[in-house]
Amino acid sequence: MSEETVTATFDVYRFEPGKDAAPRYDRYVLDLPPHTPVLTALLKVRAEIDPSLTLRYSCRSAICGSCAMQINSKSRLACEAAIGPELERDGRIVIEPMRNQPVLRDLVVDQESFWRNYSKIEPHLILDPRHPMPEGRENPMTPEEVDRFKETPRCIACAACYSACPAVEADPAFPGPMALAKLFRFVVDPRDQAHQDRLVRIQTDGLWLCLRCHLCTEACPKDVRPSERIRDLKEMAIAAQGATEHGSRHAVGFKENIRERGQLNEMKLARQTFGPIGLLAQAPQGIRIWRKKPELLRAPHPIEGQDEVEKIYEALDNGKTKEDLP
């Protein structure tokens, strides 16, 4: 029985640093059934057309996380992305290496910074030496305790989120979505005894550089939802240590600001976040904006029903986070 096929055009990024002057795109045209995974197509290219095409893969079942690459500009697992929908949308399939990591050759990137950021969060249980585990005993968790991890144990470390993240791209101080989602997993682990230290440390180690753009949550093939766990970490970090950084001062300042009038007092918030000296450094930019937008310096009128807002604060702003710490 013959299967229906489509003619698929692949434009594949090729580059060998040190040998090639610049990257190029090689075009391969294959007739394949529309459900063919991109990875299968690339392996066919390698087997039948160009054995020098270099890529990383292993399980072919979306478990190992090795074959993440950019497929029509989106970071995806090649073993999971079928060619049919890609062709339908874009007419061809552009294959490129993941972003935010230097290319070693063709589709293989150097994942050094990704793994360095991962090991930096100490992705293992930290136990207090003063309270060692009793010899020969297990340390079980209840199903409810396991639920605290949310979707984070699903992560296969494919780095699709790292590739999609604009904060990683712009600032090496940001550890990336995957490392932070993993950190969340250890912070809420009831067996871990370093959650307080972990939260204090991450406040200065890039937590507040997350842009909450949710591109990581969109890119993740396992629906780990890193951006939402990073939000959880921020709330827990404030609960653990208070507002010590610009980012946490801004979040807490914002909360206090809304409590006063129900809406934002822009100038006051800048004062709260930067402090008097920091604010001075912002003054030239502030004056530029103020000249066009004089409302910047005006405090808004309190909203009607400000008393309701105050009562909601009294009921729900009692220092407890939604994730009660273990």
Partner 1 sequence: MKLAYYPGCVAQESGKELDMATRWVAKALGIELVSFPSFSCCGSGFLDEANEVLNIALNARNLAIAERAGLDLLTICSTCQGMLTLANVRLGDPKVKARVDGALRPLGIEYRGTTKVKHLLQVLTEDIGLDAIRAKVTRPLDGLKVGAFYGCHLLRPADEMGWESAEEPHSFEDLLSVLGASPVYYRGRVMCCGFPIQFVKPETASKIAGKQIVDAKAHGAEAMATPCPLCHISLDGYQNQAAKAVGHSLDMPVLHLPQVVGLALGASAEELGLQRHLVSTTPITDRLRARA
List contacts with partner 1 (CB under 8 A): 73-74, 89, 166-167, 170-171, 173, 208-215, 217-218, 225, 227-228, 231, 234-235, 238, 245-248, 250-252, 254-255, 258, 262-264, 266, 270, 273-274, 285, 288-289, 292-293, 295-296, 298, 300, 303-305, 308-309, 311-313, 315-317, 321-322
Nearest-approach distance from CB 244 to partner 1, in angstroms: 13
Closest CA to 117 of 184, 217, 206, 56: 206
Would you state the structure tokens that stand for residue 64, as one six-digit string?
């190992």
Indicate the SS3 state at residue 31: strand
Among residues 116 and 293, whose Cβ is nearest to partner 1?
293
Nearest-approach distance from CB 3 to partner 1, in angstroms: 28
Cα–Cα distances (Å) from 270 to 54, 182, 243, 274, 287, in that order, read 50, 32, 15, 6, 13
Among residues 105 and 234, whose Cβ is nearest to partner 1?
234
Among residues 159 and 238, whose Cβ is nearest to partner 1?
238
Nearest-approach distance from CB 47 to partner 1, in angstroms: 31
68, 75 Cβ separation under 8 angstroms: yes
Residue 112 region, left (φ>0) first, then alpha (ψ -120 to 50), else beta? alpha
Nearest-approach distance from CB 136 to partner 1, in angstroms: 38
Nearest-approach distance from CB 277 to partner 1, in angstroms: 15
Among residues 166 and 190, whose Cβ is nearest to partner 1?
166
Cα angle vertex 296, ends 292, 300, to 5°? 135
Residue partners of 222: CB distance under 8 A and separation at least 6: 151, 154, 155, 156
Dihedral sign (CA 21, 22, 23, 29): negative
Among residues 123 and 302, whose Cβ is nearest to partner 1?
302
Place of tokens 């940001």: 174
Among residues 80 and 228, whose Cβ is nearest to partner 1?
228
Nearest-approach distance from CB 225 to partner 1, in angstroms: 7
